[in-house]
Structure 1
Amino acid sequence: MSSSSSLLRSSASKKQAASVEFRNVTKRYGDVTAVDSVNFTIEPGTLVTLLGPSGCGKTTTLRMIAGLEMASEGQILIGDRDVTRLSAADRDVSMVFQSYALFPHMSVLENVAYGPSVQGVPKKQAEAMAIEKLGLVGLAGLERRAPSELSGGQQQRVAVARALVLEPQVLLFDEPLSNLDAKLRRRVREDIRELQQSLNLTVAYVTHDQEEALAVSDRIIVMSNARIAQTGTPRELYEEPADLFVADFIGDANIIEGSLVEVNGAEATVKIDTLNLRLPHRGVKPGPVKLAVRPDAIALDEQAAQGPAIAGRIKKASYLGTQIEYDVETAIGNLFVVQYGRKEPIETGKSVSVSLSSQRGVAIIPGA
């Protein structure tokens, strides 16, 4: 999809992007509640990710946007139109499935032109529409190939072109990168994000991969046990988790116990063993608190640390190229620590001083 920005602009969708709104939407399968009284809005022209573990309700929510599942209760709006009881064919949305769902007996061109063709568009016009969208996703010249002759990344682009060809108001992605290797996932997610921004598309995107969600999203809806745990920008979710589940699920976090000893304006003094921190209190009153501490906010020193520090011992060290990961035993529990820019890991069994290199990676968890 790395075609020129001028091509992206000239091929922009003729339809205006539409919002998506859920109002107290519930989905039940018999006695099982898959989605429980969910409310959210996806603003026009934004990419919003539904993120959560398996079984949390994110895919069911996406399928209700598509009209592939019907809500048991509540209201679903696309733009200003109530689509709650409309079929998938009447909703003006397109979905890119996890499996891509390409027709193996059709060429790339025939796959992409299939949608317009079944809607009665003349063959030449349908093919012209397909060629335009294939150019848009960087597949010009591959129109006559069979899907089996393409790489996984190219097949994924064919699926995107097929979803775009009818210029839907809303584009849906269901775990679109799960079949790709790690390096290709990173490149294709950048392609999807560039395409979404260049065409001003409204996109609902489902994944269980936290890094993927943080990389592509304007906003993220974190789901847990059929409900929304928190909604916010990637930074808000990472730096200000609403509860223990979000703190632990978004990125890696050490959950540490401390004591909030004093509130002064928007900030509070928090004591963790020998460390005293000034942090936003987030509405939490003095007393015992739990904190989310990101692995890269922790500093390890093989020498005596300058200032207050906590004694620790290296239990495990893993070299990962760009970073070294440690399991460190301390008086406040085992800590997961990440160091960047170091060539040799600290030896297992070595004593270290543990302090905080940045308080930006530390947050009080409300209600914990």
Structure 2
Amino acid sequence: MAKAGPASVEFRNVSMRYGSVTAVDNVNFTIEAGKLVTLLGPSGCGKTTTLRMIAGLEIASEGQILIGGKDVTKLSAADRDVSMVFQSYALFPHMSVLENAAYGPTVKGLGKEVAREMAMAKLALVGLKGFENRYPSELSGGQQQRVAVARALVLEPQVLLFDEPLSNLDAKLRRRVREEIRELQQNLNLTVAYVTHDQEEALAVSDRIIVMSNSRIAQEGSPRDLYERPANAFVADFIGDANLIDVTIKSVADGQASVAIGPATVPLPSRELQPGPAKVAIRPESLLLSKVQDASVLPGTIRKCAYLGNHLDIVVDTPVGDLFVIQHGHPEMLEQGAPVWLSFAKSGVTLIPPA
């Protein structure tokens, strides 16, 4: 049985309404075939509803959804070549690991032997060879997660969906399982839409990230784009830590802005902003403790300093407010009240339009 292979997913002006509540508002995006794209955002932003619309578990109120170029907007879940791994794993407790994995082909009437072969192949792929006869209650959280992935993969869907797949795992296991999911996706060339509210997870696994806020897309791009060039204060604050500061753009020439950050003047890419008030987002690791005292540094005093093994978390009181600074390596602790000067790294300091 030849499979079609991974397919692209496209949303064209898609909205989802429940009565007077708009859960997803006029959303447009494309997930390229063979890529892993994360829908990232806080609770209630519309990301899970978007995922459920790809699956056909919710039917869009407006707009078009295409999978592999084919309009599936009104098709039911059963008529789409899509599989979903649920947050709860949704394994059948009375079925063995093998029976769980073989469920899809069995229901499709492919015969017991074929279903068993397909399930065995996918269980081997996720590292569960030898676990076929166990029951879900006899497995760890990470193993249950893998059974859910094997079951979703068994029919080789065009699109694989993950809804907060790591939220039931502890922190160490989470890192390992997200690496396994990414490896599987790349090795098998799968199209994956992945929902999470955990920005570190999104940065680690994604080809592209779609950040959602209030039922709309706030920004989409590569993990690096979003981290280093956030489109607005929400994205800057949601992806990683950021110091958000009111600044003044003094002048702009050839795409470079001269920016007053308190008493310091710093050159930054203008990002098409004009002279006047703006905001700047500064990553904590992009503030550097400086020995030089000139017009490009910001004076301050140490308010707090905490030792976290491989780095220090520092709060510095400055003319533009308290700034959070991370110093990596094994620096010496800094005394409260000690004077310091902060300079700005080449990356991780970015102008963002005022709201």
Query: TM-score band (shorter)?
Result: over 0.9
Q: Would you say the 8 A contact 1:255–1:292 is kept in 2? A: yes
Query: Distance between the aligned counterparts of 2:169 and 2:259, measured in 1?
Result: 44
Q: Would you say the 8 A contact 1:174–1:205 is kept in 2? A: yes
1:134 aligns with 2:123: yes
**After superposition, where does 1:96-135 map in structure 2 within 5 Å?**
96-135=85-124
Deviation at 1:325, TM superposition (A): 1.1
Q: Would you say the 8 A contact 1:25–1:72 is kept in 2? A: yes
Match of 1:150 among 139, 147, 152: 139
Partner of 1:322: 310
Query: Distance between the aligned counterparts of 2:143 and 2:289, measured in 1?
Result: 44
Match of 1:34 among 23, 44, 65: 23
Match of 1:361 among 345, 348, 355: 348
Partner of 1:6: none
Query: Distance between the aligned counterparts of 1:315 and 1:181, measured in 2?
Result: 33
Q: Which amino acid aligns with 1:94?
A: S
Count matched residues.
353
Q: Which amino acid aligns with 1:266?
A: G
Summarize deviations over 1:179-232 as a string: whole Å, max 9, x none: 111111111111111111111100000000011101111111110000011111
Q: Over aligned residues, Cα RMSD in angstroms?
A: 1.4
Summarize deviations over 1:53-78 as a string: whole Å, max 9, x none: 00000000000000111111111110
Q: Would you say the 8 A contact 1:22–1:38 is kept in 2? A: yes
Q: Which amino acid aligns with 1:272?
A: I
Partner of 2:333: 345
Q: TM-score, normalised by structure 2?
A: 0.96
Query: Distance between the aligned counterparts of 2:134 and 2:301, measured in 1?
Result: 58
Q: Would you say the 8 A contact 2:97–2:147 is kept in 1? A: yes
Partner of 1:8: none
Partner of 1:88: 77
Partner of 1:50: 39
1:307 aligns with 2:294: yes
Q: TM-score, normalised by structure 1?
A: 0.93
**After superposition, where does 1:245-284 map in structure 2 within 5 Å?**
245-284=234-273
Partner of 2:321: 333
Match of 1:77 among 66, 70, 85: 66
Summarize deviations over 1:258-292 as a string: whole Å, max 9, x none: 22122121221112123222211111001121100
After superposing the two structures, state which structure 1 stretch, 282-291 or 339-348, moved more.
Answer: 339-348
Partner of 1:60: 49
Summarize deviations over 1:288-346 as a string: whole Å, max 9, x none: 21100000000125xx5353432222222222222221222111111111111125432
Give runs of ≥4 in structure 1 deviating > 3 Å. 304-308
Percent same amino acid among aligned pairs? 69
Partner of 1:9: none
1:187 aligns with 2:176: yes
Deviation at 1:89, TM superposition (A): 0.6
Q: Would you say the 8 A contact 2:39–2:209 is kept in 1? A: yes
Query: Distance between the aligned counterparts of 1:329 and 1:311, measured in 2?
Result: 9
Q: Would you say the 8 A contact 1:283–1:366 is kept in 2? A: no
Q: Would you say the 8 A contact 2:233–2:352 is kept in 1? A: yes
